[in-house]
Amino acid sequence: LPTAHLQTIWPASFRKQPDIEVTRERVELADGDFLDLDWYGNLDHPLVLINHGLEGSINSHYALPLMDTLHKADFASVFMHFRNCSEEPNRLAKAYHSGETGDIQTIIQHILENYQREVFAAIGFSLGGNALLKWLGESGKSNPLTCAAAVSVPFLLADSAKKLGSGFSQLYQWHLLRSLKQSYRKKFSTIEPPLNIRVEKLNSFREFDDKVTAPLHGFQGVDDYYQQSSSRQYLHNIQVPTCIIHSQDDPFMYQDSIPNKNEISEHVEMNISKRGGHVGFISGALPWKPAYWHEKVICNFLKRHRTFAD
């Protein structure tokens, strides 16, 4: 497809979903909250953890197709919903954010303790990719994964917020902000809101993150949140083979947000395309027969490292 916006909007609006059934598991957390997981595939196969993007869920256009593709390549998968992103609001005031890595670690440990299974790989999309890369960099050599992949990551959160507040990209900001506000109202219809704000008055990501995301999650403000949570500063310390897939025309961020070679570790492979939009990556001349090439790249990468692991 010819433009970044078509690449971004087409799959979100028209991608055909596979007819597969996942198995839901609710994981009770030590802090009294919960996380919902969706499982699919043969658990005798290597297990892949999937992290979604902002306001994503198992219903995101990329979720079930990727799980189906992984199944056909002899991988099992488990889709992790961040707090407040499955059908039921989470119990605590806090929810999730771009730098939340503790819950990823918790789920990895949960699977090891309850299933006696190591997670072979993790794949993160957009916000989930940012959190995944940050976790990989934070944990360094102690990270338990064999490999990882991240797609359409907002490496610099402040730049991404600025980009989404300009031009046609404001359409995505409007759509996602509307969802964030709805989630906030639904969540705090059942528990006492800790913030004295009117979310309907917040008109940009920067405003929402300053008035909601940052105070709910212990940051000093939006700049502190963006600085601490941006993944680009962690890439040099990644010790696990990691495949990053990104497009130069991603409408969620500026091209110069893409990290330079001297900022990434030797274990990181950068797959940068000229076209692909944000979590689009559609190839083929006919939009009614699209091929989503990022899935092929990811599967080939996982297969290569499965062979190494064997």
Q: How far apart are CA 152 and CA 252, in angstroms?
A: 9
- Using the structure block, give the residue that is written with the tokens 């899935």: 295
Of the candidates 60, 126, 152, 247, the residue annotated as catalytic is 126
Confidence (pLDDT) at 308: 66
Which candidate in 246, 250, 273, 294 is catalytic? 250
The pLDDT of residue 251 is 97
What is the reported pLDDT for 190? 87
Q: What is the pLDDT of residue 307?
A: 78
Of 64-68, 236-240, 273-277, 287-291, the poorest mean pLDDT is in 287-291
CB contact at 8 A, 69 and 295: yes
Q: What is the predicted pLDDT for the residue at 210? A: 98
Give the pLDDT score at 289: 79
Task: Say what the pLDDT of residue 18 is.
Answer: 95
Output the pLDDT for position 290. 85
The CA distance from 201 to 179, in Å, is 14
pLDDT digits (tens, 9 = 90+) for 255-293: 999 999 999 999 999 999 999 999 999 987 656 778 999
CATH superfamily of 4-156+231-309: Alpha/Beta hydrolase fold, catalytic domain (3.40.50.1820)
| Whether residue 250 lies in the annotated active site | yes
* pLDDT at position 98 over 60: yes
Mean pLDDT of 19-43: 98
Interval 38-64 mean pLDDT: 98
φ/ψ (deg, to 5) at 147? -160, 175
Angstrom distances, CA of residue 201 to CA of 96, 134, 254? 21, 31, 27
| Percent with pLDDT over 90 in the chain | 92
Domain residue ranges of the chain, discontinuous segments joined by +: 4-156+231-309
Q: Is 103 known to be catalytic?
A: no
User: Which residues are CB-contacts of 262 (< 8 A; sequence separation ≥ 6)?
Assistant: none
Alpha helix locations (H) across 95-204?
102-115, 127-139, 157-163, 170-187
Burial of residue 49, with CB atoms counted within 10 A of its CB: 0-12 exposed, 13-18 middle, 19 or more buried: buried
Q: How far is CA 96 from CA 23, 212, 226, 244, in A?
A: 23, 11, 14, 22
More confident residue, 135 or 11: 135
Q: Which residues pair with 48 in a beta bridge?
A: 77, 121
Q: What is the pLDDT of residue 284?
A: 74
Please tell me the predicted confidence (pLDDT) of residue 287.
63
Q: Please identify which of the residues 52, 61, 81, 278 carries the catalytic annotation.
A: 278
Buried-state track 101-138, b at ≥16 Cβ within 10 A, e below 16: bebbebbbebbeeeeeeebbbbbbbbbbbbbbbbbbbb
Q: Mean pLDDT throughout 144-154?
A: 99
Say whether 236 is catalytic.
no
Residue corresponding to tokens 């979310």: 199
The mean pLDDT of the chain is 96
Whether residue 310 is predicted with pLDDT greater than 80 in this model: the reply is no
